């Protein structure tokens, strides 16, 4: 079959893999190739044991792979053949030097840009897919235009808004697709070409085109606003615990105001994931670098509130278990940063586990998808940690249960059986408010929900 366009994606991670699978699925006339330096990762994309778990992803990959979707480690060849290159390499938070802990580490991005120049023989559109600080495209353009081959690279920003666990659905039915480009003739033409890809399945009204800088900054701002809502309701959950208010009732009552809306208002142990913290710190860093101290402080508080919420959860466990958890067995139900993913990046579970181990508790961690990552996250720490896929085995002989992730399977457990198998007094700390607290109390548990009165049998 003759393909009308060659699309390449550099970086076969959480963003590149699913995005390209859906583009290939929806645009059979385009050849879509995903490349990565990591051979093992590419081998897994070529197998039925994909490197990431997303509902619906395997089916999408199986439908297009070998037809017009290819995974490979041949980066130079891929670059040479491509008309459009999506760059979706990782841009983690810098861990060293200037801006450590806040700014994005752009070394992979820059390396990729140089590689593109080295192996290109014709003009191309370069699409920024990684989350990047505002005005990165400018730097990219400089690197790309410093070539003596007389070829033109047009840089376009097309930030992703997919959430893990619902990535395939977010790709199939996005709220919007954002495409930022230079407002020049070639820039606008490049934006149209990228819009053409998405218009295979996304209604025209949902494809938004802006200038480059607006597109880049929109990504950070969208995540900052979402995280701010969670930190806001989590701040209120702390106040609820001091009063007789119930955070779930408040969330419902306030969220019923259509101007506010009900989504991203569920109180939790805190938000995690690869995006929120990183993007907000990036925003803070950018604001500080422009001398906007108040703006930086304002957004930084969203992160501080999130740290406070996680710290509060651990302190409550220690306080309520009579101020000592030395040698007590605590079963952590969940470790992923949210349900339906095995991803543990920035998961509150990591913080909780570390703090409980410092207090010398014995931990059992139970999660249907995240145990592999949990093992890596906790490797090298002192203390007793066990990993268990079966929740009933995890809680046997435990003094307390701490719910970290809102997996459906935890809601459906037989808590009478669990109570019988636990040490007494038996404690439940529900960091996600997913369990039936009244019922647990009737069974005999001492229950500590989030932002609601605790239910204890102590006098």
Radius of gyration of the CA atoms of the chain, in A = 24
Place of tokens 């008309």: 83
Contact 343, 303 (CB under 8 A): no
Number of helices (H), then strands (E), in the chain: 18, 14
The backbone torsions φ and ψ at residue 247, rounded to the nearest 5 degrees and listed phi first, read: -65, -30
In the set 266, 282, 306, 433, which binds ligand UDX (CB under 6 A)? 266
Residue span binding ligand UDX (CB under 6 A) among the ranges 174-182, 252-260, 273-281, 349-357:
273-281
> Residue 386: beta bridge partners?
364
**Two structure tokens written together for 409:** 């399977």
Task: Kindly write out the interface string for residues 101-140 of this chain, putting x where it contacts ligand UDX by CB under 6 A and - elsewhere.
Answer: ----------------------------------------
Task: Kindly write out the interface string for residues 320-359 of this chain, putting x where it contacts ligand UDX by CB under 6 A and - elsewhere.
Answer: -----------------xx---------------------
In the set 226, 350, 363, 447, which binds ligand UDX (CB under 6 A)? 226
Contact 269, 310 (CB under 8 A): yes
Residue span binding ligand UDX (CB under 6 A) among the ranges 61-69, 140-148, 259-267, 423-431:
259-267
Rounded to whole angstroms, the Cα distance separating 210 from 179 reads 6
Rounded to whole angstroms, the Cα distance separating 270 from 431 reads 9
Residue 163 interacts with ligand UDX (CB under 6 A)?
yes
Distance of closest approach, residue 432 Cβ to ligand UDX, in angstroms? 8
**Two structure tokens written together for 338:** 């949210």
Residue 430 interacts with ligand UDX (CB under 6 A)?
no
In the set 24, 156, 162, 321, which binds ligand UDX (CB under 6 A)? 162
Q: In what order do the strands lie in the sheet with 30-35?
A: 69-72, 30-35, 5-10, 84-87, 124-128, 153-157, 177-181, 207-211
Whether 275 is catalytic = yes
Compute CA 459 distance to the chain's CA centroid, rounded to the nearest angstrom: 43
Rounded to whole angstroms, the Cα distance separating 153 from 89 reads 18
In the set 35, 275, 281, 284, which binds ligand UDX (CB under 6 A)? 275
In the set 201, 213, 264, 387, which binds ligand UDX (CB under 6 A)? 264
Neighbours of 156 (CB within 10 A): 25
Q: Which residue has the CB atom at the shortest distance from ligand UDX? A: 273
Size of the site for ligand UDX (CB under 6 A): 19
Residue 230 interacts with ligand UDX (CB under 6 A)?
yes
Distance of closest approach, residue 346 Cβ to ligand UDX, in angstroms? 8
Distance of closest approach, residue 70 Cβ to ligand UDX, in angstroms? 25
Binding site for ligand UDX (CB under 6 A): 160-164, 223, 226, 230, 264-266, 268, 271-273, 275-276, 337-338
Residue numbers annotated as active site: 275
């Amino acid at each position: 079959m003759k393909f009308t366009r060659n699309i390449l994606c550099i970086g076969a991670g959480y963003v590149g893999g699913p995005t390209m699978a859906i583009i290939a699925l929806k645009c059979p006339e385009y050849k879509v190739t995903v490349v990565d330096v990591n051979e093992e990762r590419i081998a897994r994309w070529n197998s039925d044991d994909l490197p990431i778990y997303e509902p619906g992803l395997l089916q999408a990959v199986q439908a297009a792979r070998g037809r017009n979707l290819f995974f490979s480690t041949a980066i130079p060849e891929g670059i040479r053949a491509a008309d459009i290159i999506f760059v979706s390499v990782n841009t983690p938070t810098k861990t060293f030097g200037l801006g450590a802990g806040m700014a994005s580490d752009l070394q992979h991005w820059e390396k990729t840009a140089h590689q593109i120049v080295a192996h290109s023989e014709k003009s191309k559109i370069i699409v920024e897919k990684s989350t990047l600080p505002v005005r990165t495209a400018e730097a990219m353009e400089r690197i790309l235009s410093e070539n003596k081959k007389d070829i033109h690279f047009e840089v376009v920003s097309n930030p992703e808004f997919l959430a893990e666990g619902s990535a395939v659905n977010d790709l199939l039915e996005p709220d919007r697709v954002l495409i930022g480009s230079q407002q020049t003739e070639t820039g606008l033409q490049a934006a149209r070409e990228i819009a053409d890809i998405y218009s295979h399945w996304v209604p025209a009204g949902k494809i938004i085109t802006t200038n480059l800088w607006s597109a880049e900054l929109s990504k950070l701002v969208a995540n900052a606003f979402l995280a701010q809502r969670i930190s806001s309701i989590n701040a209120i959950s702390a106040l609820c615990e001091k009063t007789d208010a119930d955070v779930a009732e408040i969330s419902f009552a306030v969220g019923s105001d259509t101007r506010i809306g009900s989504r991203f208002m569920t109180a939790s142990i805190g938000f995690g994931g690869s995006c929120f913290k990183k993007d907000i710190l990036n925003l803070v860093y950018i604001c500080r670098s422009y001398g906007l101290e108040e703006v930086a402080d304002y957004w930084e508080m969203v992160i501080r509130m999130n740290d406070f919420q996680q710290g509060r959860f651990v302190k409550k466990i220690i306080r309520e278990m009579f101020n000592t958890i030395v040698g007590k067995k605590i079963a952590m139900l969940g470790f992923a940063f949210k349900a339906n993913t095995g991803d543990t990046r920035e998961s509150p579970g990591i913080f909780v586990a570390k703090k409980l181990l410092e207090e010398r508790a014995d931990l059992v961690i139970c999660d249907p998808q995240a145990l592999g990552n949990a093992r890596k996250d906790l490797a090298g720490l002192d203390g007793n940690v066990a990993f268990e896929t079966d929740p009933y085995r995890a809680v046997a002989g435990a003094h307390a249960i701490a719910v970290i992730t809102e997996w459906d399977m935890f809601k459906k457990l037989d808590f009478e059986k669990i109570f019988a198998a636990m040490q007494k007094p038996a404690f439940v700390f529900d960091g996600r408010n997913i369990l039936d607290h009244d019922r647990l109390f009737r069974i005999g548990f001492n229950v500590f929900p989030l932002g609601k009165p605790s239910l204890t049998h102590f006098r």
